[in-house]
Amino acid sequence: MKRAGTLRLVSDLSNFSGAARLRELLAGDPTVRVRYSSDGRHLLLLRPLGAPSPQLLVAVRGPGEELERAWPAGHPSPLDAFFLPWPVRPALILVWESGLAEFWGPGVGPGWRLLQSTELCPGGGARVVAVAAPRGRLVWCEERQAEAEGHLESPTASLNHCVCVRSLELSGEAGANLGRRHILLRHCPPFGLLASRKDLFLVPTATTWPGAVHILLIWSPGKGKVMVAAPCLGLSYSKSLNPERGDTWDFRTLLRGLPGLLSPGQPLTVHTWAPTPQGLLLLDFKGTVSLMQSHGGTRAVGTLQEAPIGPAGSAALGTFHGTLACVLGSTLELLDMSSGQLLERKVLSTDRVHLLEPPAPGMRNEEELEMRRGLRLLSALGLFQIGWEAPQGLELPSAEDLVFEEACKYYQRRSLRGAQLTPDELRHNSTFRAPQALASILQGHMAPSTLLTTLRGELRDYRGLEQLKAQLVAGDDEEVGWTELAEQEVTRLLRTELMGDQLAQLNTVFQALPTAAWGAVLRVLQLQPDGNGRLRSQAPPDVWKKVLGSTAAEKEPPNGILPLFELLCHCLCRLEPRWLPPFVELAQQQGGPGWGGGGPGPPLYRRALAVLGEEGTRPEALELELLLGSGRPKAVLQAVGQLVQKEQWERVLEAGLALGPSSPLLQSEIFKLLLAEFAQHRQLDAHLPLLCRLCPPDLAPVELLLLLRSHLPDELEAPTPFPEPGAEPPLTVGLLRTLLEQTGAQRQPLGPVLSLYEDILHDPGTPPPTPPRGPMTTLQALDHPGSEAWAPSGQGLCVTDTV
């Protein structure tokens, strides 16, 4: 059965603030740039540089005031503008060519106010030519004027740009927290920047160096990699590019190290670029549409019946449910992305149409569920939605049916009888009153109450989930749909009692779609990195209590089904192993008595170690991090012992110092362990300052010397002034002095010296004065008892001065 495309009017723009100005700009300027907020309530229109005022308009649907700004002649207008997520309503960032960035947010009332201004290019001498705002970051391409002036005669004079990034985090009233500036790419040509949900595309422009017009780059921040691709040559290479590790690339060095990329290639004759969740769409001047994916591969999607009319012709591309939508002038064409077949062609009443980006995933409201069924088009005539009509015969379950079906499963799990419950039985049996009361509320037979208000969100999620399942069954089985389905299912299951079927179903979802499942967990637990390699969470204690539910000690889960905590650890090991130790540390901080963190059963670090496998087969780095972060003395000492065996002295010292004053006994044990190594070899001499910092404050010098004496190696031969060639140098007093001064400074005596060794620590450093010399008399042996033992036989020891 052939599907029919529908174009439905959603709004005539009258419910937007500043509707008259909005229609005027959409109808009068074909080059206006349009952006859509993630909540679907804000429209941003930005006119290009040099356009008449107003250059910026932000319209709000529903309650709220528009933001309209104009810059007089001679004052540049913003280069680009973006919406940023905000708890109440989106914030706005404006970026100028000079590098100035302004953050606008909601004011006390319904209006807007300037929150913060900052300079992206401190020191001047740079010009921003392109900017993008992928999730949690601000990326821009800037031209270095100083470098350009110094290389005017160079054949690669256009390689005077660089691509920079700064982390971006909104912080309430303070505006935004921008991280330090990091250069991703140096000495590169000017690139255009296009951001999708996961990737950033660096595409060539009209002013790009001729030797690189056939090359584009795809940076995936989540993977810490960059793909360098040349579609015309069929080449793509992957390189590491992670700002957190300090990665940076010189564009010239990068190309020289990738064979074949500098071969002469045809420039990319692209009329329109369009980032989508599937990748980057490319429309050339022949009407052919191609899709470049994040791994660098390119495939043809289809060919339009009409080609763009020159570079100035308007074109817009978008995707929804496996369908490519292309607006070319006043023509709308729908193509199947799998086969390239033309599905439908419509003639529009205007040639100034903008395709809007779909809303960000994670917003569960009725409008977003409606928007995900199609793609939205904006023109001066209104806001429209293009989508597919549901096939005939596909009936979606009603809210009442969903109530009885879910109640049937709920009661069946708790029933002791063998007979199977049915929805019809629940409808007519007076024993089960709760589902009947809820169904009557939904049918309108009972006035809305607190119960309906409480359950409205959950029922809406159920209905949206069933609608999405029905659409996927009907044939819209694209990756985005399955990802959204997994996210919704995980979010729903985390709100239930995770036992039996629910836990088994959650395990199945994590096995099939781990990335989407973990994304849902991130939102539920509200996990965020704090910039120091740790995680923080704002989830309520009830959520963590469910995550850390204790299991039977030392028992395998039935049928291979992992409890929720083990399931999350296993998923992290597959996706991002480096975040497993911070996650376990955060879980240990959240755990309460009887939650599996501090109650009966194995501690959390042991449960995480069990996920890694048997002892001896686990990744050593992860095992060490889990043991050190456990806070358990035996586990920490086990990790320290392993590090000592590997002679990683600095790591051991840092682990001991990180314990802080809250664990003095454990610190003392680590110090004694290192002191034993210090007595036996000289590998710790370079780390003596850290060893002194680790020294317990209550340790006396005599105790220190006694500890060292017990660990000194046995001397099989008489000591010599200098060690043999190749032999280990012995421990000397000079090396001990720093440690003895450390202990002496902490226990400096106020009265007389009580220890045999403490007096050397308080030596004034100046020898006593020399007595005056004068004539000496002959010393007789009888004047000194025992002189025979040292005086020559038959002689006295005469000491005279020669005058």
Q: Which residues contact 731 (CB under 8 A, 6 or more apart)?
A: 678, 679, 682, 708, 712
Q: pLDDT tens digit string along 652-675?
A: 888 888 876 677 888 888 888 888
Query: What average pLDDT does range 377-392 have in this prediction?
Result: 80
* Res 592: pLDDT: 54
- Per cent of the chain over pLDDT 70 is 74
Determine the length of the chain: 803
Query: What average pLDDT does range 154-179 have in this prediction?
Result: 75
Q: Identify any residues that bridge with 189 across adjacent strands, giving them in sequence order.
A: none
Least confident interval from 135-144, 187-196, 239-248, 673-682: 673-682
Most confident of 120-124, 238-242, 391-395, 789-793: 238-242
Most confident of 440-454, 512-526, 674-688: 512-526
Query: What average pLDDT does range 728-755 have in this prediction?
Result: 62
Query: What average pLDDT does range 451-467 have in this prediction?
Result: 66
* Res 193: pLDDT: 95
Rounded Cα–Cα distance for residues 419 and 714 (Å): 81
Query: What average pLDDT does range 10-37 have in this prediction?
Result: 88
- Characterize 563-594 residue by residue with b for buried, 16 or more Cβ atoms within 10 angstroms of its Cβ, and e for exposed: bbbbbbbbbbbeeeeebbbbbbbbbbebbeee
Give 709's pLDDT tier (boundaries 50, 70, 90): confident
Residue 677 has pLDDT above 80, yes or no: yes
Give 777's pLDDT tier (boundaries 50, 70, 90): low
Beta strands 182-188; 249-250: pairing state: parallel
Give 291's pLDDT tier (boundaries 50, 70, 90): very high
Give which of 573, 636, 647 is closest to 610, Cα–Cα: 573
- Give ∠ CA 3-293-253 in degrees, rounded to 5: 165
- State the Rg of the chain over Cα: 37
Residue 69 has pLDDT above 50, yes or no: yes
Q: Identify any residues that bridge with 315 across adjacent strands, giving them in sequence order.
A: 328
Give 130's pLDDT tier (boundaries 50, 70, 90): very high
Rounded Cα–Cα distance for residues 517 and 155 (Å): 50
Distances (CA, A) of 719 to 249, 293, 380, 732: 56, 71, 97, 12
Mark residue 765 as left, alpha or beta (left: phi above 0; alpha: psi -120 to 50; beta: remaining).
Answer: left
Query: What average pLDDT does range 647-651 have in this prediction?
Result: 83
Rounded Cα–Cα distance for residues 80 and 78 (Å): 5
More confident residue, 588 or 500: 588
Angle between helices 450-473 and 399-414 (to 10 degrees): 100
Residue 176 has pLDDT above 90, yes or no: no
Residue 713 has pLDDT above 80, yes or no: no
* Res 114: pLDDT: 87
Distances (CA, A) of 95 to 56, 103, 169, 347, 532: 12, 9, 16, 37, 28
**What tokens does 708 get?**
């060292």
Most confident of 157-161, 268-272, 368-372, 646-650: 268-272
* Res 1: pLDDT: 44
Give 327's pLDDT tier (boundaries 50, 70, 90): very high
Residue 395 has pLDDT above 70, yes or no: no
* Res 274: pLDDT: 92
Tell me, rounded to whole angstroms, the distance of Cα 646 from its chain centroid. Answer: 31
- Classify residue 757 as exposed, middle or buried by CB count within 10 Å of its CB (0-12, 13-18, 19+): middle
